[in-house]
Amino acid sequence: MIKIQRALISVTDKTNLRELAEVLQAHGTEIISTGGTGAFLAGAGIPYTEISTVTGNPEAFGGRMKTISFNIESALLFDREKDAAEAVQLNIKPIDLVVCNLYAFEKYREAGTELSELIHHIDIGGPTMIRAAAKNSKYVAVVTDIHDYDTVISELRTNAGALGYETRKRLMAKAFNLTADYDAAIAQAMDSFNGVDSLRLSFTGGKTLRYGENSHQQASLYRLAGKNSALYDMEVLHGMEVSYNNILDVQAAIETVSTFSHTGCVIVKHNNPCGMAEGKSQRRAFELAWEGDTVSAFGGIIAFNTEATIEAVSYLAFDAEDKSKRKFVEIVAAPSFTEDALAYLKQQKNLRIIRFSTDMIKATEELRISNNTLLRQSKDNTLYSKIDSVTETPFDIEKQKDLVAFGLRAVQYIKSNAIALVMRTPENYLQLIGMGSGQPNRVNSVGLAVTKAKKNLGVDTLAGIDILLASDAFFPFEDNIDLAHEAGITKIIQPGGSIRDKHVIARCNELGVSMALTGCRHFKH
């Protein structure tokens, strides 16, 4: 335990500072402070020592020089055992605690502040004394986060004004992370002013996962530092630890279902939505999503966009006497669960029950790191830029707009080449009834989607059924149209953009197929 006899406080953000300072004062701590912080303490009736009394120099150059001095850095850095005699000889009195947060550089950077002004918001003295205190954490404590005040206050009160080594060690790591991130933000901004696009990221909270995509691969999970919400924060309410593959599938499921306009359900298998439905009832949406591909749904990840109810989750038939009727799934995810729904799901020991917030998937960028290379792109958040009917048989855009959006959301999240067959049920639900994904050519994807749809609907032809075919990218040749028409499909939505668009449209006209173009591709690799 280290008794805090002298503390240096210099903060930009003075939130909750008064209580910490009062507790230090109550335990006889001498508080040293700089101009703005000192004025705050004086206003709160808390006595302090001017920093200039310790440095022997005035604050100068508009505040650029305040804390940087031989006396301050020595008081933080000297070894309290082997350097004790030298410190006395040099008249250096130890400082046992630094409370400091930095100039709000990133706030001004994000506001588009010009370089000439932004320079003034680069903190020099703050990082220097933070790093000095952190380096000497064997003897010195450093507090850089206002959210740590309560913990520090509690420990000071419990230990008569002293702080333990475990606390100092934890605060030390936090301090070095702060200065590293701060310097990274400055370096990135300076690169930008010089026309260089750079990116520096830090991740925290590393968790070792059981294994990666396969059992022989090692894997970990991290949280991007500085973000208010992340998929990392999803709550596992029950069941086994989530795996690497589970996390990828959960992301795909909740990203997809969160785009729905109505109550909906998505079932994901191997990172592809294989079942999707939306409408009035959560139970009916779940049933239709499951019926969209009963084979693939086995062992899948289920996601709802509204509170999971007992009516919906009982469709899993966990308590059915005939065990063959019980449905096996890996995960059920929802924004919340009713008490009876949660109790019902917990019947399955290993079923992972996950609560999420849509804030967790609202990132504006996607990052992919592979082989020491980083790919960075904005998220695919544009569903379409237009919907133009381009065939002689008109595509009824207004009548089909919700179904079009549903189909495009499907191909937006299905791996390319992606084809989705969607329909409106007699009850006015929207349902995915067949999809083709991950094929090296689009014809194969169309063929797979058609085969699945026929099997799911129990029919030999799709003729006479009001089905919309949605494609994530343009059709390069007429063979896709021929295959769809042969199956009985008469409505197609696709982005267009091929040099052969006119040939594809001409073929639609010959066959009486209606087609609309969106001008927006949705490749997903």
Distant-in-sequence, close-in-space partners of 154: CB < 8 Å, separation ≥ 6: none
Whether 435 contacts 272, CB under 8 Å: yes
Over residues 438-473, the pLDDT tens digits come to: 999 999 999 999 999 999 999 999 999 999 999 999
Identify whether 270 is a catalytic site residue. Answer: yes
Looking at residue 370, its pLDDT comes to 87
Residue with tokens 């934890």: 170
Percent with pLDDT over 90 in the chain: 89
DSSP H stretches of helix in 365-495 = 397-413, 442-457, 479-487
- Asked whether the domain spanning 388-517 has the same topology as the one spanning 230-361, the reply is yes
Looking at residue 7, its pLDDT comes to 97
Interhelix angle 125-135/70-77, rounded to 10 degrees, is 30
Identify whether 135 is a catalytic site residue. Answer: yes
Looking at residue 113, its pLDDT comes to 93
Distant-in-sequence, close-in-space partners of 341: CB < 8 Å, separation ≥ 6: 308, 309, 310, 312, 313
Looking at residue 60, its pLDDT comes to 86
Looking at residue 163, its pLDDT comes to 97
Looking at residue 470, its pLDDT comes to 97
Secondary structure of residue 175 in the 3-state scheme: helix
Looking at residue 273, its pLDDT comes to 94
Distant-in-sequence, close-in-space partners of 502: CB < 8 Å, separation ≥ 6: none
Catalytic residue among 14, 27, 135, 503: 135
Residue environment code for 267-305, b if the CB has 16+ CB neighbours within 10 A, otherwise e: bbbbbbbbbbbbbebbbbbbbbbbbbbeebbeebbbbbb
Catalytic residue among 270, 327, 346, 455: 270
Residue with tokens 């220097």: 128
Question: How far apart are alpha carbons 111 and 114 in whole angstroms?
Answer: 9
Q: How many helices (H) and strands (E) does the chain have?
A: 19, 23
Distant-in-sequence, close-in-space partners of 390: CB < 8 Å, separation ≥ 6: 496, 505, 515, 516, 517
> Would you identify the CATH topology of the domain 230-361?
Cytidine Deaminase; domain 2 (3.40.140)
Distant-in-sequence, close-in-space partners of 243: CB < 8 Å, separation ≥ 6: 209, 210, 211
Instruction: Give me the phi and psi of 90, to 5 degrees please.
Output: -90, 0
Distance of CA 57 to the CA centre of its chain: 47
Element (H or E) spanning 149, and its range?
helix 149-158
In the chain, domain spans: 2-193, 230-361, 388-517
Q: What is the DSSP string of 283-317?
A: HHHHHHHHHT-HHHHTTEEEEESS-B-HHHHGGG-
Secondary structure of residue 515 in the 3-state scheme: strand
Looking at residue 276, its pLDDT comes to 96
Domain boundaries 388-517, corresponding CATH code: 3.40.140.20
- pTM of the full structure: 0.85
Distant-in-sequence, close-in-space partners of 356: CB < 8 Å, separation ≥ 6: 231, 234, 235, 250, 254, 333, 334, 335
Cα–Cα distances in Å, from 510 out to 209, 230, 389, 462, 482? 55, 50, 16, 19, 10
366 burial level (CB within 10 Å; 0-12, 13-18, 19+): exposed
Question: What is the residue-level pLDDT of the chain in tens, covering all 525 positions?
Answer: 999 999 999 999 999 999 999 999 999 999 999 889 999 999 999 999 999 999 999 888 888 888 899 999 999 999 999 999 999 999 999 999 999 999 899 999 989 999 999 999 999 999 999 999 999 999 999 999 999 999 999 999 999 999 999 999 999 999 999 999 999 999 999 999 999 999 999 998 899 999 999 999 999 999 998 788 899 999 999 999 999 999 999 999 999 999 999 999 999 999 999 999 999 999 999 999 999 999 999 999 999 999 999 999 999 999 989 988 999 999 999 999 999 999 999 999 999 999 999 888 888 899 999 899 999 999 999 999 999 999 999 998 888 899 999 999 999 999 999 999 999 999 999 999 999 999 999 999 999 999 999 999 999 999 999 999 999 999 999 999 999 999 999 999 999 999 999 999 999 999 999 999 999 999 998
Looking at residue 58, its pLDDT comes to 87
Which one of 3.20.10.10, 3.40.50.1380, 3.20.20.105, 3.90.79.10 gives the CATH number of domain 2-193? Answer: 3.40.50.1380
